[in-house]
Amino acid sequence: MTFLSDKAGLSKEDFLNLQPVAAEWVQNNLCCLQDCTKLSLLPLNPLKDLKVTVDKLLEYNSKDLLSFGVTYDEMKASGMTPVMMGLFHFPLSEWIDLGFSKLHVQGLSSHECNSLFGMGVEETMKYMEEG
């Protein structure tokens, strides 16, 4: 799709007119990760639709991930570890926006919680209750 948008100059609306179903673009290998940002009218979740690995999402902020429909659970299911979470540099509030919950906090060690959020498991749980 990048060729069509970059070289042929097609707009988002042109893509919708050509094929309004994102799955068809994916099945025919006409989509790539960059198309998620360019073609917001076609809902593409990079993890589910494009089958990219979670490390490929490191260049995106949490607002981008939300606009793609990406959730914390999908990221975790795609292999994200607590160490990898730190590479995203998101504050706790943005992880919460992506679906991070108290249940997820309970799965972290105190060291992991401190590394990620600057507070232990108990403090993180309190923050989430108050937030």
Q: Specify the pTM.
A: 0.80
Contact 91, 116 (CB under 8 A): no
Tell me the pLDDT tens digit for each residue of 79-121.
999 999 999 999 999 999 999 999 999 999 999 999 999 999 9
Q: What is the pLDDT of residue 12?
A: 72
* Residues 130/89/37/75 CA torsion (nearest 10 deg): -70
End-to-end Cα, the chain, rounded Å? 41
The answer to whether residue 3 scores a pLDDT higher than 70 is no
Alpha helices (H) in 46-109, listed in sequence order: 62-68, 72-77, 82-88, 92-97, 102-106
Question: How far, in Å, CA of 42 to CA of 112, rounded?
Answer: 36
Tell me the pLDDT tens digit for each residue of 33-81.
676 666 566 677 889 988 889 999 999 999 999 999 999 999 999 999 9
